[in-house]
Structure 1
Amino acid sequence: MKPVVVIGGGGHAKVVIQTLRLTGTPVVGYTDLEDRHGGSIQGVPYLGTDEAFVLCYTPGDVVLTIGLGSVKSNVPRIRLYTRFKELGYPFHSLIHPSAVIADDVVIGEAVQIMAGAVIQPSVRIGANVIVNTRASVDHDCRLDDHCSIAPGAIITGAVTVATGAFVGAGATIIQNITIGQHACVGAGAVVLQDVRPGSTAVGIPAKEVGSS
Structure 2
Amino acid sequence: MSRPLILIGAGEMAQIACEYFEHDSDYDVVAFSVESPYLTSPDLAGRPVLAYERLADIHPPGTVDLFVAIPASQLNRLRTRFYLDGKARGYRFATYISSRAFVWRNAEVGENSFVFENNVVQPFVHIGNNCILWSGNHVGHRTVIRDNVFVASHAVISGYCDIGSSSFIGVNATFNDGIKVGEDNVIGAGALVTKHTEPGRVYVGSPAQAIPNRSSFDVRL
TM norm structure 1:
0.93
Unaligned runs of 5+ in 1: none
Equivalent positions of 1:28-177 (< 5 A) are 28-33=30-35, 34-35=38-39, 39-41=43-45, 43=46, 45-71=47-73, 73-177=75-179
Q: Quick one: which amino acid aligns to residue 39 of structure 1? A: D
What's 1:185 paired with?
Answer: 187
C-alpha displacement of 1:165? 1.2
TM norm structure 2:
0.89
Q: Quick one: which amino acid aligns to residue 156 of structure 1? A: S
Change (3 A) 1:132 1:36: farther
SS at match of 1:3: strand
Q: Is the Cα contact below 8 Å between 1:106 and 1:124 reproduced in 2?
A: yes
Aligned residues: 210
C-alpha displacement of 1:27? 0.8
What's 2:219 paired with?
Answer: none
Q: Is the Cα contact below 8 Å between 2:116 and 2:133 reproduced in 1?
A: yes
Residues 38-90 of structure 1 show CA distances to partners (whole Å, capped at 9, x for unaligned) of 7213x3x1322211323211111100111111157111111111111111111
Equivalent positions of 1:5-24 (< 5 A) are 5-21=6-22, 22-24=24-26
Q: Distance in 2 between matches of 1:153 and 1:46?
A: 36
C-alpha displacement of 1:114? 0.8
Q: Quick one: which amino acid aligns to residue 65 of structure 1? A: F
Aligned-residue identity in percent: 28
Q: Is the Cα contact below 8 Å between 2:135 and 2:152 reproduced in 1?
A: yes
Q: Distance in 1 between matches of 2:96 and 2:185?
A: 25
